[in-house]
Amino acid sequence: MTLAKSSPRPGRTKQKTSRASQKELVIVTGISGSGKASALKAFEDLGFHCVDNLPLELLPEFARLVSKSSEVVRAAIVVDVREGPTLDRLPQILKDVRKLLHTRVVFLDAQDAVLVRRYSETRRPHPLGQGETVSRSIVEERQLLDPIRNVADTLIDTSNFNVHELRAHIQSRFGHRDGATHLLVSCLSFGFKNGMPLDADVVFDVRFLPNPHFVPEFRKKTGLDPKVAAYVRGFPQTEEFLGKVTALMLYLLPHYVKEGKSYLTVAFGCTGGQHRSVMMAEEVSKRLKKAGYQVKALHRDIVR
């Protein structure tokens, strides 16, 4: 078991004592290779008291210690497949822990091909890989973790994140504690044929628009190409849709801020994630930036 403590800040103890009602516990779990260690490091940087691979039977006692501590306000632990056969007890234990303090479960995942590549690059064995291929171990692990995934509060697909981007994502999502006047919006393009993005908060299907894939000169280009973007925008339904989506998001975003949300993913899906969805994500991103929001455009499937 690895214990990581953040160094105290001046005046911190006094604040913590007065904010006991705001104590919280984050349980980080998910598929091996999805970035749990990097996520835990990000929580540590945010001032969380962090523990890696805490034995499951100690979780209720750990929660009690956090709830009574004058030194620890926020804590994060990793619980994963290394726990072994007792892992299926987590949903029930979680019910008891939530009676003691505010608890959130963050489940990290990634596409199988990405996980296999990561294991190949690091040359590390899979925790279940005793005599099995990495691919078969991933399938087995998904089956073991499925009950936990179903009780997760937050799902994060790390397929398109490097280490630094994952840490920035965690810090954006969990770093603002006082009303979250900061809201980071990600406009994400994807292809339905490659599956829905796990962490999308709002999804728009743009497959009703004419597909540039069937125009020979556009087939090998993407929605980032000015000519492709102009083609998609040339249809009246495109401009009408853009106007209505922008108006809807400008209505919704202040309400998300009011509810304390610090990170929002707005996803646009077309068939392959190459043309229409890319153009839409880029254009809505520009419009929301113009309205004063912090926005970035991401394209999950553009390199396929």
Question: Per residue in 90-142, pLDDT tens?
Answer: 888 999 999 999 999 999 999 999 999 888 887 778 888 766 788 888 998 99
204: left (phi over 0), alpha (psi -120 to 50) or beta: beta
Name the domain count of the chain.
Answer: 2
Q: Which domain holds residue 170?
A: 2-174
Sorting pLDDT into bands at 50, 70 and 90, what band is 16?
very low
Q: Are 255 and 166 in contact (CB under 8 A)?
A: no
What is the structure's pLDDT at 222? 95
Whether 167 and 224 map to the same domain: the answer is no
Comparing 21 with 217, the larger pLDDT belongs to 217
Instruction: Output the pLDDT for position 31.
Output: 93
Give yes or no for residue 161 having a pLDDT over 90: no
Q: What is the pLDDT of residue 233?
A: 94
First-to-final CA distance of the chain: 39
Whether residue 275 sits in one domain with residue 141: no
Q: What angle do CA 155, 149, 80 make, to 5 degrees?
A: 100
Mean pLDDT of the chain: 85
The verdict on 125 and 204 lying in the same domain is: no
Predicted confidence (pLDDT) per residue in 254-286, tens digit: 988 877 677 789 999 999 999 999 999 999 999
For residue range 206-230, list pLDDT tens digits in order: 999 999 999 999 999 999 999 999 9
Helix (H) or strand (E) holding 6, with range, is none
Which pLDDT belongs to residue 243? 96
pLDDT at 230: 96
Residue with tokens 């929002």: 264
Q: Is residue 146 part of a domain?
A: yes
Domain assignment of residue 11, yes or no:
yes
159 and 42 within one domain: yes
Looking at residue 176, what is its pLDDT? 56
On whether residue 304 sits in a domain, the answer given is no
Torsion of the alpha carbons at 228, 230, 234 and 239, rounded to the nearest 10:
110
Claim to verify: residue 72 and residue 126 sit in the same structural domain: yes
Q: Of 171, 139, 154, 136, nearest to 29 (Cα)?
A: 154
86, two tokens: 């007792």
Please check whether residue 58 lies inside any domain of the structure.
Answer: yes
* 138 and 204 inside one domain: no
Here the CATH number for the domain that contains residue 106 is 3.40.50.300
Residue where a domain stops, chosen among 140, 174, 208: 174
Residues 40 and 153 placed together within one structural domain of the fold: yes
| Contact status, residue 106 vs residue 158, Cβ threshold 8 Å | no
> What pTM, to 2 d.p., does this model score?
0.57
Tens digit of each residue's pLDDT (9 = 90 or more) over 34-82: 999 999 999 988 889 999 988 888 999 999 999 998 888 899 999 988 8
Q: Determine what percent of the chain is predicted with pLDDT higher than 90.
A: 51
pLDDT at 194: 93
> Domain ends where: 145, 174, 203?
174
